[in-house]
């Protein structure tokens, strides 16, 4: 058999530039196709298309990693909702709201913010935090007419104008943390027995509404983007059924992860980048889920209580730990599962802050707790699924996946977690 010799041609031979990162792959495919007969153009186009797609995806991943490295340090502490306790009498409604006054006085648009540091008014906002209670109260009184116009109170089809009844501003404490004031407003009701609805403009941020009467709490909801509450009857507490409570808290739990829970998202991504194999990934997610379910339930029941000043820095450190362990290539075993379980307990205490703000009671407790936890799990699954589609599928089978994807991504996660730790402890 004669040895293979390429046919002479007047056309310039196919050349691959020295800077082409895929040159070896192209040459191997071309040589293999020539050994088997004439060059099949579909091979060329197939290889080229796949390599171009992988190159674009790789560059896109780098851009996403750089974006998170730059922007995520400001997203660790999403704005908490204001909490409104609504008491509806036969002829009057009163609303007591626990809130942070400074963003409202500064005129921030909280609908588009996740952290007050992102606002161009952040400097003015920070100066307001240093004001004595009397001075801040006077500043609030000056902007009250504009704020009142963003309150929505209705009785049936009748719009109500709330009056400012009381304002309590605490003394200046740690100016790096928000101080919680209490604002009380009220309005007279028309003599028609119609139920009351409450809400406020989305620019004032999320609002947690609780319908209360004495020691009883009925309807609860977290309102966003200018939503209105359900109709609240007079002289009685509106009670949700279990299904309504469950559905509403599934949505709240999901929202707490996507898009608000950037610290929890980074921790889950840290678990994802440890290994693409189903066994280790499933074991870690299961341990994390079991742990935060336990601590969330204990905290919601009031059995376990740890100050957020301790929980938040430890959550940030948990992100650093799992990311660094990914980079070191630690062997998978029970030690890793135990560590993830322990960190899951911390994250469950972080989840509990949302339920503490709403204050589930009575028949709502079980449905709300289960619904919120399921919403959290759905959010985590979406994060893992998105990571698998965007990273695992295009890169997971490559021999360089760990060196070029998993380790750099873990390094970015560790850096963000370290920054959060510093800001929680020292800034």
Separation CA 76–CA 387 (nearest Å): 20
Q: What angle do CA 155, 190, 162 make, to 5 degrees?
A: 65
pLDDT band at 5 (very low <50, low <70, confident <90, very high): low
Indicate if the pLDDT at residue 44 is higher than 50: no
Whether 58 has a pLDDT exceeding 70, the answer reads no
Degrees to nearest 5, angle at CA 372 with 371 and 377: 95
Would the pLDDT of 409 be above 90? yes
Q: How far is the CA of 356 from the CAs of 131, 250, 314, 350, in angstroms?
A: 28, 16, 20, 10
Q: Among 6-10, 113-117, 187-191, 322-326, whose mean pLDDT is lowest? A: 6-10
Which range scores top for mean pLDDT: 61-70, 120-129, 208-217? Answer: 120-129
Higher pLDDT, 161 or 261: 161
pLDDT tens digit string along 221-266?
Answer: 888 888 899 899 886 655 566 787 888 889 888 988 887 788 899 9
Phi and psi (nearest 5°) for 57?
-65, -40
pLDDT interval class at 19 (50, 70, 90): very low
Instruction: Reduce the DSSP state of residue 359 to 3 states and report it.
Output: coil
**pLDDT above 70 (res 393):** yes
Angle between helix axes 407-425 and 41-71 (nearest 10 degrees) is 10
Looking at the predicted structure, is the pLDDT value of residue 23 above 90? Answer: no
Residue written as token pair 């379980």: 341
Q: 94: part of which helix (H) or strand (E)?
A: strand 92-99
Q: What is the pLDDT of residues 339-355, one digit of tens each?
A: 999 999 999 988 887 77
Name the maximum alpha-carbon separation found in the chain: 106
Residue-wise pLDDT for 267-296, tens only, equals: 999 999 999 888 999 999 999 999 999 998
Q: At what angle do helices 23-35 and 41-71 cross, to 10 degrees?
A: 160
Q: Is 151 helix (H, G, I), strand (E, B) or coil?
A: strand
Any idea what the Cα angle at residue 212 is, between residues 210 and 215, rounded to 5°?
Answer: 130
**pLDDT cut 70: percent of the chain above it:** 76
For 297-327, how does the pLDDT look when each residue is reduced to its tens digit (9 = 90+)? 888 887 888 887 788 889 999 999 999 999 9
| Helical segments of 23-71, H only | 23-35, 41-71
Q: What is the model's pLDDT at position 150? A: 93
Q: Is the pLDDT of residue 149 over 80?
A: yes
Mean pLDDT of the chain: 80
pLDDT (0 to 100) of residue 384: 94
Q: How confident is the model at residue 131 (pLDDT cuts 50, 70, 90)?
A: very high
- 3 state SS of 232: strand
Q: Within a 13 Å sphere around the CA of 320, how many CA atoms are in the beta-carbon half?
A: 14
Give the closest residue to 215 by CA, choosing from 376, 321, 87: 87
Residue 218 φ then ψ, to 5°: -110, -105
Residue 102 confidence (pLDDT): 93
Contact in structure between 105 and 128 (CB atoms under 8 Å): yes
* Residues 74-114: tens digit of each pLDDT: 444 456 778 899 999 889 999 999 999 999 999 998 887 76
User: Is residue 272 within 8 Å of residue 340, measured between CB atoms?
Assistant: no
Residue 69, token pair as written in the block: 């490295």
Sign of CA dihedral 35, 36, 40, 46: negative
**Rounded distance, CA 247 to CA 262, Å?**
23
Distances (CA, A) of 149 to 146, 161, 162, 165: 5, 8, 9, 16
pLDDT above 60 (res 63) = no
Helix axes 278-300 and 334-358, enclosed angle (nearest 10): 40
Q: What pLDDT score was predicted for residue 74? A: 40
pLDDT at 43 over 80: no
* Number of separate helices (H) and strands (E) present in the chain: 14, 9
Query: Whose structure tokens read 């079980």?
Result: 366
Confidence of residue 124 (pLDDT cuts 50, 70, 90): very high
As a three-state string, the secondary structure of 286-342 is HHHHHHHHHHHHHHHCCCCCCCHHHHHHHHHHHHHHHHHHHHHCCCCCHHHHHHHHH
* Distance, CA of 417 to CA of 419 (rounded, Å): 5
pTM: 0.61
């Amino acid at each position: 058999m004669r040895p293979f010799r390429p046919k002479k041609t007047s056309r310039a031979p196919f050349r691959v530039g020295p800077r082409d990162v895929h040159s070896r792959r192209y040459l191997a495919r071309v040589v293999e196709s020539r050994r088997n007969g004439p060059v099949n153009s579909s091979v060329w186009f197939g290889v080229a298309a796949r390599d171009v797609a992988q190159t674009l995806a790789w560059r896109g991943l780098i851009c996403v990693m750089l974006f998170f490295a730059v922007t995520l340090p400001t997203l660790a502490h999403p704005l908490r909702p204001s909490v409104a306790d609504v008491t509806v009498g036969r002829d009057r409604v009163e609303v007591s709201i626990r809130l942070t006054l400074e963003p409202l006085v500064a005129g921030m648009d909280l609908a588009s913010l996740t952290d007050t540091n992102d606002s161009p008014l952040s400097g003015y906002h920070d100066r307001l935090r240093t004001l004595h209670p009397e001075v801040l109260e006077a500043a609030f009184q000056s902007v009250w007419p504009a704020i009142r116009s963003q309150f929505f109170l209705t009785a049936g089809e009748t719009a109500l104008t709330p009056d400012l009844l009381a304002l309590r501003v605490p003394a200046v404490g740690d100016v790096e943390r928000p101080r919680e004031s209490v604002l009380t407003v009220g309005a007279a009701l028309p003599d028609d027995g119609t139920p009351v609805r409450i809400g406020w403009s989305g620019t004032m941020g999320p609002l947690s509404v609780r319908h209360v009467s004495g020691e009883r709490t009925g309807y609860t909801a977290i309102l966003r983007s200018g939503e209105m509450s359900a109709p609240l009857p007079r002289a009685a507490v509106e009670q949700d059924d279990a299904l309504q409570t469950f559905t509403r808290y599934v949505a709240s739990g999901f929202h707490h992860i996507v898009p608000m829970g950037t610290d929890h998202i980074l921790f889950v991504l840290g678990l994802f980048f440890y290994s693409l194999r189903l066994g280790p990934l499933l074991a870690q997610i299961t341990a994390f889920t079991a742990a935060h379910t336990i601590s969330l339930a204990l905290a919601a029941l009031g059995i376990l209580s740890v100050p957020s000043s301790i929980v938040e820095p430890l959550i940030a450190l948990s992100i650093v730990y799992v990311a660094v362990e990914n980079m070191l290539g630690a062997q998978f075993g029970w030690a890793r599962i135990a560590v993830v379980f322990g960190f899951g307990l911390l994250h469950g205490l972080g989840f509990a802050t949302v339920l503490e703000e709403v204050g589930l009671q009575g028949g709502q407790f079980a449905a709300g707790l289960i619904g919120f936890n399921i919403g959290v799990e759905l959010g985590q699954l979406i994060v893992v699924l998105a990571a698998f589609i965007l990273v695992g599928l295009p890169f997971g089978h490559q021999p360089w996946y760990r060196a070029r994807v998993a380790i750099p991504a873990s390094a970015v996660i560790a850096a963000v977690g370290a920054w959060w730790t510093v800001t929680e402890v020292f800034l």
